[in-house]
A = this chain, B = another copy of it.
Amino acid sequence: MLEENKVNHYLDFFDLAPEELMSLFSLAKEKVLKEGDVYVKEGSTTGKLAYIKSGLIRCFLLKENGEETTVLLRWEDQFFTAYDTVLFNQASRFTYQAMEHTVLLEADYQVFMDFLNKNSKFSKAKDYFLISMLAEMMERVESFVLLNPEERYLRLLKDKPNIVQRCPDKYIATLLGITPVSLSRIRKRLTSSSFAVPKK
């Protein structure tokens, strides 16, 4: 289960009674991943909804040339799904891998949603995953049309300063839509312009 302060946050946020929140959690089971473990493999069709209690998950595409492109990074207190399966109803083109020791609460997406649909008390909770994910993706799209690669890197540092210590640069680079070589140059430019670039 969750810690006291997070439970209270969700009670408030979803506007639920404690028993109601408990009934939601009863649908989920805990899953522990160690660094490097694959949670969802390319080709998988398991429609899971997962909440990250702690840790870091990387969603990436393995290209024909053997290179990996990071599409998403999800960390503690965020939800995620293999969105190919849940949104597009197809086998996952992506692999979801733990970048560090990670603890998930996972539930079957459809079972969870059906449960939420049975009682309108849950309507707020039901929207939460979709809305928060959509909000984040909109911000991500904005960052691509409004910012250049250097600015996107700075924004990521602002959003999640310790990501640099938790995830290799080569994965961060492709997440930003650039190559690792280019990210290295950006870091150098920032350093030489007296910006405090986080050490690895």
Chain A contacts to B: CB under 8 angstroms: 61, 69-72, 83, 87-88, 117-118, 120, 123, 127, 130-131, 133-135, 137-138, 140-142, 144-146, 174-175, 177
Contacts and interface: CB of A to CB of B under 8 A. Distances in A.
A87 B134 contact: yes
A68 B59 CA distance: 32
B117 A123 contact: yes
A84 to B, nearest CB: 9
Contacts of A87: 131, 134-135, 138
Contacts of A134: 83, 87, 130, 133-134, 137
Given A130-B127, A133-B134, A138-B137, A145 B175 contact: yes
Nearest to A130: B130
- How many copies are assembled? 2
Does more than half of chain A's interface fall in helix, strand or loop, or is it mixed?
A: helix
Contacts of A141: 71-72, 137, 140-141, 144
Contact of A83 (B70, B123, B138): B138
A134 B134 CA distance: 5
Contact of A69 (B88, B117, B135, B146): B146
8 contacts: A87-B134, A130-B130, A130-B134, A133-B134, A137-B137, A144-B177, A145-B174, A145-B177
A153 to B, nearest CB: 14
Given A117-B120, A135-B87, A71 B130 contact: no
A123 B61 CA distance: 32
Contacts of A144: 141, 144, 177
A37 B100 CA distance: 51
A135 B177 contact: no
A90 to B, nearest CB: 11
A196 B100 CA distance: 48
Contacts of A130: 127, 130-131, 134
